[in-house]
Amino acid sequence: MKGKTERRPRPKPPHKVGVWNRLKRWGRYVYLRTVRQDSTPPRIAWGTAVGVFLGVFPTFGLGIPVALGLAFIFRFNRAAAVIGSTIMNPLTTPFFWTVSALLGAFIFGEDVAHLWMLLKSGSAKEAIMTSTVAYLTGNTIIAVFCSALSWTLVYFSVRAFKRGRAR
């Protein structure tokens, strides 16, 4: 047939270039860039501190992405931020929740029995608001304390490690 061109089949790439493979390659690239970055002790310590704060603070599953974003914006160590945010895990969650609630109740002078009576009497909204404010206050204090402690420990540990390695 004259005038019609024959369509040749496209050559197949040597490997699949699907969406899943692209995501895996991108994830590996980000992982290698994160792990291989050479940071100073303050940047590693700040990355850890931000991660620990967001790990302890109730971010409802967004701790790691937010820690990565803040570490990227402020040029902290991203690997340290991710590792720091894993402080909140199924083993430590009950401890942090309990200590935060107890500290908040102590600060506001709230009694658990009083909150329970509010719930039973039908003022659930008041009980929830009171306990939420108390919990978040206690949790913020715990998060700041853990963050400051982790900054101090990581800073001096990394500095000592780098000095020892330089010798």
Task: Give 151's contacts (C-beta < 8 A, 6+ positions apart).
Answer: 45, 46, 48, 49
Average pLDDT over residues 16-21: 77
Instruction: Return the pLDDT at 137.
Output: 94
Q: pLDDT band at residue 153, thresholds of 50, 70 and 90?
A: very high
Instruction: Return the pLDDT at 43.
Output: 93
Instruction: Return the pLDDT at 111.
Output: 76
Which phi-psi region, left, alpha or beta, contains residue 7 (left: φ > 0; alpha: ψ -120 to 50)?
Answer: beta
Instruction: Return the pLDDT at 166.
Output: 77
Q: pLDDT band at residue 66, thresholds of 50, 70 and 90?
A: very high
Instruction: Return the pLDDT at 122.
Output: 73
Q: Is the predicted pLDDT of residue 41 greater than 60, yes or no? A: yes
% the chain with pLDDT above 90: 35
Instruction: Return the pLDDT at 13.
Output: 61
Three state DSSP letters for the chain? CCCCCCCCCCCCCCCCCCHHHHHHHHHHHHHHHHHHCCCCHHHHHHHHHHHHHHHHCCCCCCHHHHHHHHHHHHCCCHHHHHHHHCCCCCCCHHHHHHHHHHHHHHHHCCCHHHHHHHHHHCCHHHHHHHHHHHHHHHHHHHHHHHHHHHHHHHHHHHHHHHHHHHC
Instruction: Return the pLDDT at 118.
Output: 73
Q: pLDDT band at residue 4, thresholds of 50, 70 and 90?
A: low
Written as six digits, the tokens of 108 are: 């506001």
- Ranges of each domain in the chain: 40-166
